[in-house]
Structure 1
């Protein structure tokens, strides 16, 4: 049985929101290796705070039907560059029960193992639902401090927490909360909270879909020109530096009332797949943007989050609103790329989902991003099918999901002189730098 300190996957109960041919022997192997990763490795693998993706990759390929040897091969390949786990301090862990001290420890990388131990103890005592309710969704100063960090770091804390929730693993939930705690909060303070205030709070009936807002933003010259290739951080130094009011104006318009939840979920999943797949150049090879794929990869968890019995309605709506807002921000920050839907619609579907999954599992250079993307796209097709006739304006429909899946595996073929992904696809320089 899975606990706050023990990872234990069962194919019967823990195969995830979307899975294909999950195996019992793989579940055992993945559980053992994820346990080893938790005991041996730090959350960041370098000083630039690049994230340890091992749990993301292993859970993704496990859900896609990987064999035990695939799990072992991925772990061997990706553990070589991880940093060892940092020491814990019992004094620091104990002090975290004090609200003021807890907040003093936030945002400090060295406290990751302390936060991990703290959240493991809390989950053992109160359960996952109780801990999420208290430390993320309570609405008090401490919980708001954590919420402001959840969507930081290219939404990696959200992704990690999402995997823990999706696969019913309290230990991975504890990792996700600990990871959240050591990220910074500037994006929450500068963007999410002001957008929410401008929207008039949480759960207001939304007048515009995410797709409508994307199209309006593309026509806003000030917003489009707010990001420059030379910006080191294209969110902080670009859009939120040069056009914060415009960005907040659009972000605040993405709101979700209770009766809109399912439809807005489909809208969000469809829109991020659209801008990730269609951000192409007709004279270039097909490539997908590394930053934009994170919006797709993190979308899958919301099918579970909006149905969590332990989560109150306001928190579900708030999570979905923040997800839509970060999707708007991410698109603009990549240079507001032109979206060429015909490039997707005309792409050949040489392989079906099972073949795409097999290639994602076996990819010799993937650290989990490709496998996450393939699974999220297949899930997106499942979610959005029900809305194709009701919402014909949704751009990704029918076999386009499979076409983007084919683009994903074809464009990431392992070649020494070519990157798997393009970065900031709206800029000419990104394509030139990638030698495509």
Structure 2
């Protein structure tokens, strides 16, 4: 019997687009008006736009930009400006008229995996499942259960594919309690091609390895593996797809899995253990983005390593949605190899804690401050009295690139959670054993000012647009290769 195509507008209206939880930053400036405007614009984006802005598979970031700006205190008018600026670049949710005939259901959903033209129907389908089952049960059924991860289905792997964009989309839904973003996020995962499964060391718990290591120790071993050496010669024009293939070739995928298995994650993982893993992830990803430059060179911020920073903020909200410890463990076991894979695709750049600690912990916008009153207790023109965060929080909101806001939000969260960490107190600073051997040279110097230093580097590099600077650009050179640094214009004179 023929079935009439469903109306996606009707379906979507039955799934909550409300923001039911506060964000992890929840800056001053959030109002009833800004909340309602964000919800209105999120619904327009979900009903009207595809998850890819072009056939190549570049991602629609509009919902991300709205939510990060909202959480950083953007006004309702500012949120509308963001929407108007980005909506014009989007493609319609139904790409072609014939796509209306695609009807995804419980019996056939797997046959449409990887099909961009099925995205709209996937959104309808997962919206209906959320309405029937609830958000958590839908996520578990279609992403974490064994049936959803059979060979060829690989839904958990799809979630971390595409530079972790489906992970980020679902993560926003989890963080802000927005059912609609969960539906669009799972749908986005469904139309992605999965990464190779070889790097993933298993979703079922095995006995603990003979040794367990920290995430920074894992990174040290990645640096020390001759198998994981970056392929040569360096090609400055290579696309990320080619770099990913190189990072997986010639036994590298198996070596990633072997090393990641040493970072033990138990199927009985507790909430306290999850929090400890999340802290390690945030420290490590921020170091990968901000501490992989070269001495006496202008800082570079890698575009793909930045995605590790932005996605790291969603590990805790996503884990919090899952009812079973084994699903929480599976999420972590799938995310960790992606950190390593993306690092290798950038030429295996080495973190340099000494370098990042040489950057200022009192970054400032390039404007003169007013002279304070003689009665003022302290002078903001003097670093002794100056708090750099308010100016960065205000300045970043106006950047047209949502990635800058997203990275800043992770850094703000990092300083709130871990800013008081003393030198030597970062998890994984030292290798296991009796001695005090650092996992990476200079780790013992690193403290909680990492986040403000990284934020300052980013603002100075990407631009203080609110005070007249032009926007900068993320680095796509694959900065781990020595040859990527041969350009003379990158020298600090």
Please give the TM-score of this superposition, normalised by the length of structure 2.
0.79
For residue 7 of structure 1, what is the aligned residue in structure 2? 17
Q: Is structure 2 residue 250 aligned with structure 1 residue 238?
A: no
Distance 1:176 1:17, change over 3 A: same
Offset of 1:267 from its aligned partner?
1.0
Distance 1:386 1:140, change over 3 A: farther
Offset of 1:416 from its aligned partner?
6.9
For residue 297 of structure 1, what is the aligned residue in structure 2? 310
Distance 1:155 1:272, change over 3 A: same
Instruction: Write the distance in 2 (CA, Å) between the matches of 1:142 and 1:263.
Output: 27
Contact 2:159–2:166 under 8 Å retained in 1:
yes
For residue 73 of structure 1, what is the aligned residue in structure 2? 81
Distance 1:433 1:84, change over 3 A: farther
1:214-234 Cα deviation digits (max 9, x unpaired):
111112233123365335425
Unaligned runs of 5+ in 2: 1-11, 365-387, 430-442
1:136-179 Cα deviation digits (max 9, x unpaired):
12122457621121111000000001001111000110000000
Which deviates the most, 144-153 or 386-395? 386-395
Give the counterpart of 1:225 among 227, 230, 233: 230
Task: Name the larger-Rg structure.
Answer: 2
For residue 481 of structure 2, what is the aligned residue in structure 1? 427
Give the counterpart of 1:138 among 132, 137, 145: 145
Instruction: Write the distance in 1 (CA, Å) between the matches of 2:457 and 2:326.
Output: 37
For residue 119 of structure 2, what is the aligned residue in structure 1? 112
Distance 1:322 1:433, change over 3 A: farther
Unaligned runs of 5+ in 1: none
Give the counterpart of 1:211 among 211, 216, 219: 216
For residue 405 of structure 2, what is the aligned residue in structure 1? 371
For residue 52 of structure 1, what is the aligned residue in structure 2? 60
For residue 458 of structure 2, what is the aligned residue in structure 1? 408
Instruction: Write the distance in 1 (CA, Å) between the matches of 2:488 and 2:109.
Output: 43
Aligned residues: CA RMSD: 2.7
Distance 1:237 1:142, change over 3 A: closer
Offset of 1:27 from its aligned partner?
0.9
1:70-97 Cα deviation digits (max 9, x unpaired):
212222222222112215867632x521
Contact 2:198–2:254 under 8 Å retained in 1:
no
Count of matched residue pairs: 421
Offset of 1:359 from its aligned partner?
1.6
Give the counterpart of 1:180 among 172, 179, 189: 189
Instruction: Write the distance in 2 (CA, Å) between the matches of 1:84 and 1:36.
Output: 11
For residue 280 of structure 1, what is the aligned residue in structure 2? 293
Please give the TM-score of this superposition, normalised by the length of structure 1.
0.88
For residue 257 of structure 2, what is the aligned residue in structure 1? 248
Q: Is structure 2 residue 130 aligned with structure 1 residue 160?
A: no
Contact 1:227–1:239 under 8 Å retained in 2:
no
Q: Is structure 2 residue 342 aligned with structure 1 residue 306?
A: no
Give the counterpart of 1:343 among 355, 360, 370: 355
Which deviates the most, 105-114 or 127-136? 127-136
Which deviates the most, 122-131 or 133-142? 133-142
For residue 180 of structure 2, what is the aligned residue in structure 1? 171
Distance 1:288 1:390, change over 3 A: closer
SS in 2 for 1:223: coil
Which deviates the most, 421-430 or 208-217? 421-430
Contact 1:4–1:169 under 8 Å retained in 2:
no
For residue 158 of structure 2, what is the aligned residue in structure 1? 149
For residue 358 of structure 1, what is the aligned residue in structure 2? 394
Instruction: Write the distance in 2 (CA, Å) between the matches of 1:276 and 1:39.
Output: 34
For residue 261 of structure 1, what is the aligned residue in structure 2? 274
Instruction: Write the distance in 2 (CA, Å) between the matches of 1:15 and 1:380.
Output: 17
Instruction: Write the distance in 2 (CA, Å) between the matches of 1:113 and 1:181.
Output: 11
